[in-house]
Amino acid sequence: MSLEEAGIPTIAVHTHVFSRLAKATALANGMPTTRQAFVPQPVVDRTAAHLRAYIEGVDPVSKRPFMQEIIEGLTGPLSSEDLKGMSFDRSRAKLLEPDTEDNLHKLFQENYWTDNLPIVLPTEERVAAMLKGTSHSPDKVVGRLRPAEFREFWELTVEKVAVNAVMAGARPQYLPVILAMAASGTTARSSSTTSFAGIGVVNGPIRNEIGMNAGIGAMGPFNHANATIGRAWNLLSQNLQGGSTPNESYMGTLGNWYSYSATFPENEERSPWEPLHTRYGFKKTDSAVTLFRGGRYTQAGFGPRETWKEKFKRVFAACSPRQSPLLVMDPIVARLFTDLGFNSKEKLIAWIEENATLPAREYWDDQWVQTLLKPLAVSGVEPYATNLKAAPDKELPMFRAEEINIVVTGGETQGAWKIYEGTRSNNGTVSIDAWR
């Protein structure tokens, strides 16, 4: 659209499954008649012959020849609508029209304002009680969220975060954690076709102050604070960023269970290592939450046993190379690693960086390495540029040390570990104390 503004007639080509999203985005940008043409989904993995057939075929949305859409999009006459664009204000009242509880529950569900589990209706009284959980004023702007990088940002206030916290069933004392998550600018509900979710890790004194569970079942539905804080982050993400409606503002083809709730505290008291937030500039006495984008792959195991190195190499090789690992382990596992000489998380991270490798031919064949890292390599950015020249069988490192994170949690009933996809987001560790 910026090319249109620069005076260059432009037409954008999308695959047909994105037609509603593409049109909604054009409307939100004030250019609802942006010229668009569509080819069938998918383009990925199609041969040149298939793609040529798309070009010579019919636009599956307009049902007209694809190339006719292209040429007329650049040369056809403009209407008065094209020349004026569309300005409009989308502000709305703070409160909904009064209705019965049953009707309001139905309204919330039908509008995709819930996660399809029962919610607590955000009455004025409940929201006022929730706001007592922070010293900040209700109209203070917390930050901005958007469901994808090419979408518009929506602004969110303390009050709007509190509304969604009420809906999730959270208690006022959890609000500083939820505000910190909202302030991160990281959505837990990306519209990505790849269905990634948000994972939150809480560190510092607030874990115990609000009764979070870092013991048995820390990552399961066994603790009110863990469950409702993670749920609140998801609900506020979908509602305060402009929606998370399938085929409109959510395009994840498989979806993700972690999109219900995936937030847990580190078991700092039983861990032999420094807590996660100290890696990102916080003191142990600070409370902070770290946000990750991921949850597409999950690996699991027990130990370390005698052959742990072989197992770890296999497990990491099965991860996706551009999607960073978040290694979560029970305190038993962490202590066994210290017995093996890994007396800090950094030492184990260094081992993983060195030993998590893939042959170059597999590395560069990954869809997202192709899409996101290959352009950097072609532009000369290191280490990708050097790696692009590697022989097909040369083993390439999958992750850089700064992309790998370790968290200790769990109740010591088993020496269990899991590896989740967890890419720490930009500004991904946020002060909770700032939102008390």
Q: How far is the CB of 386 from other proteins (least distance, A)?
A: 18
Give backbone dihedrals phi and psi of 368, rounded to 5 degrees, phi first: -85, -25
User: How would you label 231-249 residue by residue, b for 16+ Cβ within 10 Å and e otherwise?
Assistant: bbbbbbbbbbbbbbbeeeb
- Of the two residues 138 and 411, which places its CB atom closer to other proteins in the complex? 138
Report yes or no: 287 and 368 within 8 Å, Cβ to Cβ.
Answer: no
Residue count at the site for other proteins (CB under 8 A)? Answer: 103
- Of the two residues 102 and 393, which places its CB atom closer to other proteins in the complex? 102
Which positions from 1 through 40 interact with other proteins, judged by CB under 8 A? 1-15, 18, 21-22, 27-31, 33-35, 39
- Of the two residues 113 and 174, which places its CB atom closer to other proteins in the complex? 113
DSSP 188: S
Q: How far is the CB of 321 from other proteins (least distance, A)?
A: 14
Q: Where are the alpha helices (DSSP H) in 275-391?
A: 308-317, 331-339, 345-355, 360-365, 367-368, 374-378, 384-388
Q: Indicate which single residue of 24, 61, 115, 122 sits in contact with other proteins (rule: CB under 8 A).
A: 122
Which positions from 130 through 149 interact with other proteins, judged by CB under 8 A? 145, 148-149
Q: How far is the CB of 373 from other proteins (least distance, A)?
A: 9
Quick check: helix, strand or coil at residue 295?
Answer: strand
For the beta carbon of residue 84, count every other beta carbon within 10 angstroms. Answer: 10
Q: How far is the CB of 149 from other proteins (least distance, A)?
A: 5
Quick check: helix, strand or coil at residue 368?
Answer: helix
Q: Indicate which single residue of 57, 64, 86, 220 sits in contact with other proteins (rule: CB under 8 A).
A: 86
Tokens of 288: 């902070």
- Of the two residues 152 and 310, which places its CB atom closer to other proteins in the complex? 152
Q: Indicate which single residue of 16, 60, 68, 92 sits in contact with other proteins (rule: CB under 8 A).
A: 92
Using alpha carbons only, give the angle 103, 107, 109 rounded to the nearest 5 degrees. Answer: 115
- Of the two residues 373 and 408, which places its CB atom closer to other proteins in the complex? 373
- Of the two residues 91 and 285, which places its CB atom closer to other proteins in the complex? 91
Q: Does 104 bind other proteins (CB under 8 A)?
A: yes
- Of the two residues 67 and 300, which places its CB atom closer to other proteins in the complex? 67
* Residue at 354: amino acid letter: E
- Of the two residues 44 and 285, which places its CB atom closer to other proteins in the complex? 44
Nearest Cα to Cα of residue 180 among 432, 393, 433, 364: 432
Q: Indicate which single residue of 90, 253, 382, 389 sits in contact with other proteins (rule: CB under 8 A).
A: 90
User: From the CA atom positions of the chain, what is the Rg in Å?
Assistant: 24
Which positions from 352 through 411 interact with other proteins, judged by CB under 8 A? 367, 370-372, 375-376, 379
Q: What H or E segment, with its residue span, contains residue 80? A: helix 80-84
Which positions from 208 through 237 interact with other proteins, judged by CB under 8 A? 235
- Of the two residues 240 and 408, which places its CB atom closer to other proteins in the complex? 240
DSSP assignments along 391-424, one per residue: -TTSEEE---GGG-EEEE-S-SSS-EEEEEEEEE
Which positions from 66 through 85 interact with other proteins, judged by CB under 8 A? 67, 70-71, 74-78, 82-85
DSSP 429: E
- Of the two residues 50 and 305, which places its CB atom closer to other proteins in the complex? 50
Q: How far is the CB of 376 from other proteins (least distance, A)?
A: 6
DSSP 301: E
Separation between Cα atoms, residue 160 and residue 155, nearest integer Å:
10
Nearest Cα to Cα of residue 216 among 177, 260, 267: 267
Q: Indicate which single residue of 68, 109, 123, 194 sits in contact with other proteins (rule: CB under 8 A).
A: 123
Quick check: helix, strand or coil at residue 166?
Answer: helix
Q: Site mask, other proteins, residues 146-185, x = CB under 8 A?
A: --xxx-xxxxxx-xx--xx--x------------------
Report yes or no: 299 and 315 within 8 Å, Cβ to Cβ.
Answer: yes
- Of the two residues 68 and 298, which places its CB atom closer to other proteins in the complex? 68
Q: Where are the alpha helices (DSSP H) in 280-359?
A: 308-317, 331-339, 345-355
Q: Site mask, other proteins, residues 246-275, x = CB under 8 A?
A: -----x------------------------
Q: How far is the CB of 2 from other proteins (least distance, A)?
A: 6
Tokens of 121: 């209706």
Q: Indicate which single residue of 185, 242, 325, 422 sits in contact with other proteins (rule: CB under 8 A).
A: 242
Which positions from 295 through 354 interact with other proteins, judged by CB under 8 A? none
For tokens 């130990």, what's the residue? 303
